[in-house]
Amino acid sequence: MKIYPVILSGGAGTRLWPLSRAVLPKQLLPLVSDKTMLQETALRLHGRPQLMPPLVVCGNEHRFLVAEQLRESGVRPLGILLEPVGRNTAPAVAAAAHFLQSVDPEAVMLVLPADHVINDVDAFYAAIQHAGALVGEGALATFGIVPAGPETGYGYIQSGKPAAAEQCYAVNRFVEKPDRATAQGFVDAGNYFWNSGMFLFRADSYLKELQEYAPTIASASAEAMAKGYRDLDFCRLDEAAFTACPSDSIDYAVMEHTRHAVVVPADIGWSDVGSWSALWDVQPHDGQGNATRGDVYLDDVSGSLVRAEGRIVALVGVKDLVVVETADAVLVAHKDQVQRVKQIVDHLKQQDRTEHLHHTKVYRPWGCYEGIDIGERFQVKRITVNPGGKLSLQMHHHRAEHWIVVSGTARVTCGDTVTLLTENESTYIPIGMNHRLENPGKLPLHLIEVQSGSYLGEDDIVRFEDVYQRS
């Protein structure tokens, strides 16, 4: 039996603001280790018997970051499937099922969110083996996390009679997030498990059940895949068909209705890292129960999570706080109130601000840029172009640009002139001039860009040619 991990890398992770942003969500961040959550997920079962290269499903705006992070981790994916819009897990998994059936008609899918922590990988692999004994017969297996306490932030799964395989049980029912008293009753009963959102089933079994219980999703996802096309290393789903697909989760669309659902209890050190307090739970603590990262000073502090991204952060005489510093935002919250972080993101959206969308450092397929200073009619950026990276051939209607090379080698196209610049050399790009920046060297290119003009927005870019095929 060949098992194909399907890694779902969508979602915005708004409860981990200000670190998680729409353009750089939590699955693409190194939250628990020096690897990103996506990399940890891709490497978790890499090389295990029966496990094939993963298929990753992600949004269009994250495609280059996903590809680069997989390359950095040494994992060559089976494919990267691009959703034109988010439609929850049921359509995403359906599209992945169609993709896998074209590769292997008997493909077994292991559906994994990209942003979970699993500390006991051996126990998880054993649970996969237990579930695998049933999926060949049409079972749709989900992994129920053995609860560590009466958690109110998770849904629950009630197990029923033992199934025809070791450590597998029929599913009696799925339960929405309960209040604390109800959750305590679930824990006391002993046959309720946290709903992990991880699944194992054959692709054809899932599509059969989807056709029965959510036929509109089944037909729309099939059309989106059939009309999809290759774009560089990516597979793009048809935008019109996928956009027309109803948005629904696997649980609501299929698992709550199917007669073939089974649950495998899994005590695997799992967390969905759904809040700052959840991240505090899974990180190492000092003797006073603090979890820290970055340049942090603590004096008489206990039970707190402190994360400094760029500056020193000092706390004195406090307890049970979450303090997160980034270049453009600082969060201070009591650890018991971190679920309210989402309200901050909602406020930023209502005020038409940008701090929920992206950081001051913005990643592009060729490298990244970071805003240093901005004022009336000027903006300063620090730009890094990776070896071999090439910006699009472009022009601006409203701004001129000065480029100063800090280190590395730049090949600059300005009109019909091509020039090589090295350290401490500079050039000027007038308004309306076609231009391009490239790094022909083997080391990263670092330069400072000074923009000046009446309008400095990123949408003042007219692209004539782009190796990354961006519009």
For residues 345-353, average pLDDT: 96
Residues 6+ apart with CB under 8 A from 327: 309, 310, 359, 360, 361, 370
> The sheet that has 291-293: what strands, in order across it?
291-293, 305-308, 321-325, 330-334
- In this predicted model, what pLDDT tens digit does every residue of 308-332 receive, in sequence order? 999 999 999 999 999 999 999 999 9
Asked whether residue 353 carries a pLDDT value surpassing 90, the answer given is yes
pLDDT, residue 443, reads: 97
User: Over pLDDT 90: what percentage of the chain?
Assistant: 96
- In this predicted model, what pLDDT tens digit does every residue of 51-81 receive, in sequence order? 999 999 999 999 999 999 999 999 999 999 9
Residue with more model confidence, 469 or 39: 39
CA atoms within 13 Å, Cβ hemisphere of 229: 4
pLDDT, residue 77, reads: 97
Q: Which amino acid is at 157?
A: I
Mean pLDDT across the chain, nearest whole number?
A: 96
pLDDT, residue 460, reads: 94
Tokens read off for 435: 């231009």
Q: Which domains does the chain have, with CATH numbers?
A: 3-271 (3.90.550.10), 288-345 (no CATH), 361-465 (2.60.120.10)
- In this predicted model, what pLDDT tens digit does every residue of 203-221 receive, in sequence order? 999 999 999 999 999 999 9
Q: How far apart are CA 168 and CA 265, in angstroms?
A: 7
Per-position DSSP letters for 146-176, written without gaps between them: PPSS--SSS-EEEEEEE-SSTT-EEEEEEEP
Q: Exposed e or buried b for every residue in 46-65, given b needs 16+ CB within 10 A? A: eeeeebbebbbbbbbebbbb
pLDDT, residue 12, reads: 80
Work out the end-to-end distance of the chain between its first and last CA atoms, rounded to an integer number of angstroms.
Answer: 41
Q: How far apart are CA 464 and CA 393, in angstroms?
A: 5
- In this predicted model, what pLDDT tens digit does every residue of 20-48 receive, in sequence order? 999 999 999 999 999 999 999 999 999 99
- Dmax over Cα atoms in the chain, in whole Å? 76
Q: How far apart are CA 106 and CA 348, in angstroms?
A: 47
303 — pLDDT class (breaks 50, 70, 90): very high
469 — pLDDT class (breaks 50, 70, 90): confident
Asked whether residue 471 carries a pLDDT value surpassing 80, the answer given is no
18 — pLDDT class (breaks 50, 70, 90): very high
82 — pLDDT class (breaks 50, 70, 90): very high
Residues β-bridged to residue 450? 380, 402
β 435-438/410-414 pair status: antiparallel
134 — pLDDT class (breaks 50, 70, 90): very high
Find where tokens 């049921």 sit: 90
The conformation of residue 390, written as its DSSP 8-state character, comes to B
CA angle centred on 238, ends 233 and 242, rounded to 5°: 120
- In this predicted model, what pLDDT tens digit does every residue of 140-180 receive, in sequence order? 999 999 999 999 989 999 999 999 888 999 999 999 999 99
- In this predicted model, what pLDDT tens digit does every residue of 275-297 receive, in sequence order? 999 999 999 999 999 999 999 99
Q: Which amino acid is at 155?
A: G
Q: How far apart are CA 10 and CA 8, in angstroms?
A: 6
Find where tokens 């693409």 sit: 28
Asked whether residue 113 carries a pLDDT value surpassing 80, the answer given is yes
pLDDT, residue 162, reads: 93
13 — pLDDT class (breaks 50, 70, 90): confident
Asked whether residue 94 carries a pLDDT value surpassing 90, the answer given is yes
- In this predicted model, what pLDDT tens digit does every residue of 304-314 receive, in sequence order? 999 999 999 99
pTM for this one?
A: 0.91
397 — pLDDT class (breaks 50, 70, 90): very high
Asked whether residue 232 carries a pLDDT value surpassing 90, the answer given is no
